[in-house]
Amino acid sequence: MLLERKRSLSRDILYPTDLMDNEQKQQFLGLIEDTNAEEIVSKIFTIEDSDTLEQESFTELLEKIYLRQGYQILKNVNRKGFNADICAVNEKEKSILIMQCKHSMDKDKTLAVGGVQEVIAFQPDYRKAYPKYNMLLSVCSNCEKFEDDAHALANTKHVKLICRQDLRLLLEEAKIDYNEGMWSD
């Protein structure tokens, strides 16, 4: 008897009951109809979307950009525990990208020199691991600009700075669907 009652409740929740009027039944059936995959609207990720991310999701977004450019993302390359946010290898071009990702909820913030110093500090360990590869050092942020001392050090040490406008262009080129990442959960 108890088992039959549970089955009845389950059925009544999943299917319209006899107590529903005809209009309610039609609404209910309309809600549970199978949706066609073509009806699902995809949304391309924008720079404004990146502003709402946490640091980990921002890093994942940048990884997706470089995956589309032919890179493979490597994890835990440096055994000492000090790793760049992104280490990516392009076997075809024999290049390795070492990147620090600096996300801020304040897009108007001017980024200090810290990210540049960090990526430079990682360079020797990655150079040992990939001696025959062209090393590309970079710092990427959703912020508008970097401080002058960050630019000065980056120019001296050949570190590419990617600020908001450059990131916007990378996102437009990559055309990452918003539903592809952890930010869509």
pLDDT digit string, tens, across residues 113-124: 999 999 999 999
pTM, full prediction: 0.74
In a domain, 64, yes or no: yes
User: Quick one: pLDDT at residue 37?
Assistant: 46
Q: How many domains does the chain have?
A: 2
Regarding whether 58 and 101 lie in a shared domain, the answer is yes
Rounded to 5 degrees, φ, ψ at 73 are -85, 130
Which is it for strands 72-74 and 95-102: parallel, antiparallel or unpaired?
unpaired
Residue-level pLDDT at 56: 92
C-beta atoms surrounding 90 within 10 Å:
17
CB atoms within 10 A of CB 98: 27
CA distances from 127 to 7, 43, 95 (A): 64, 38, 11
Collect the ranges in the chain with pLDDT lower than 70. 1-41, 76-82, 181-185
- Structural domain for 175, as ranges: 47-184
The per-residue pLDDT for 107 is: 94
User: Does residue 91 sit in the same domain as residue 138?
Assistant: yes
Q: Residue 144 maps to which CATH number?
A: 3.40.1350.10
* 133 located within any domain: yes
Phi, psi for residue 179 in degrees, rounded to 5: -80, 0
Verify that 26 and 68 share a domain, yes or no. Answer: no
